[in-house]
A and B are shown apart, each in its own frame.
Chain A
Amino acid sequence: MAEHKHHILSNFTIFKVWLLLVILTGITVSVTHFNLGAFAVGVALLVACVKSTLVLTYFMHLKYDDKILTAFIFIVMLVFTSFIVLTLIDYIYR
């Protein structure tokens, strides 16, 4: 990736990402109308993860920026998941 050339997102790309985000919102809202129980939680969180990845990659420009910024996102997520997992283990097996 060329470090010195600044990448400018095209309006069409931005619009496409927005459209995808709106469609995903539509999917996640309509899924709640079916009573899927625990499965619904998984779908809602999965859609949220896909949406946030789209926002981070394109809107927040991570795809075109220094990869150290993306690496730190993974570190933040790793810290967060370890805390969630450790705390839940504590509560489940207490």
Chain B
Amino acid sequence: MENTTEHFEHRDDAASKLGMWLFLYTELLLFGGLFLVYSIYRFRNAEAFAECGHHLDLMVGTINTIVLLTSSMTVAMSITALQHGKKKQAIRLLIATIVCALIFMVNKYFEWHHKFEMGTYPGSPTFKSLPHGDGLFYLLYFFMTGLHAIHVIVGSIILIFVIVYIKQDKIRPDKFALHENGGLYWHLVDLIWIFLFPLFYLIH
């Protein structure tokens, strides 16, 4: 019975994947709560929210969306590569993912920097003089994209660990639960951005 160990590890993997998913459900509800706050504030300040949406850079938002989608693709491909035994290709694809994360964060930095220069960040004198609805929009914008950016950073750190573990053969074609779970976390980051992008950049 050569399959015995493999079979055992598969069952173990299923449990760890379920655990990862349970965590992801709580993440979805965490952002769900913020989306709820957004819907109510938008409902009560429809005009201000529509107006402020125009002040965000649609170009940067679109580029970041494509960058995140691409990073999701490279993570999925790295999982495929590793499971086919192509260790080096898997690592290269993960590095590509982290490069995408860096591009995303650099874009985010310039976007936020621009907003800081304009003074529309929570707590600034300009911010305090903004109309109520505008203030709520920028508050939610900074909080939600900021929380998302923290997830991008955490996701990159997880993927760096995955690369190291692949190099050390702790993640192998027959033992890849951590790789898949790290990938799941990264896809969650993409999933949340899929909703953040239209809510802040598109709906005017």
A residues near B (Cβ < 8 Å) are 4, 6, 8-11, 14-15, 17-18, 21-22, 25, 28-29, 31-32, 40-41, 44-45, 47-48, 51-52, 55-56, 58-61, 65-66, 68-69, 72-73, 76, 79-80, 83-84, 87-88, 91-92
Contact = CB atoms under 8 A, between A and B. Distances in A.
Contacts of B62: 25, 29
Given A11-B80, A80-B29, A60 B10 contact: no
Interface string B179-197: 0100110011011001101
20 contacts: A4-B7, A8-B80, A8-B84, A9-B79, A10-B80, A21-B69, A25-B65, A25-B69, A32-B204, A41-B203, A52-B195, A55-B191, A60-B184, A76-B32, A83-B32, A83-B36, A84-B39, A87-B39, A87-B40, A91-B44
A18 B43 CA distance: 33
Nearest to A42: B203
B60 interface: no
A37 to B, nearest CB: 9
**Size range of the chain B interface in the assembly:** 35 or more
A56 B191 contact: yes
B29 A29 contact: no
B16 interface: no
B43 A6 contact: no
Q: For chain A, what secondary structure do more than half of its interface residues adopt (helix, strand, loop), or is it mixed?
A: helix
A48 B184 CA distance: 19
A48 B72 contact: no
A59 B62 CA distance: 20
B174 to A, nearest CB: 10
A48 B194 contact: yes
Nearest to B65: A25
Contacts of A79: 29, 32
B14 A18 contact: no
B143 interface: no
Interface string B64-76: 0110011011011
A32 B84 CA distance: 42
A84 to B, nearest CB: 6
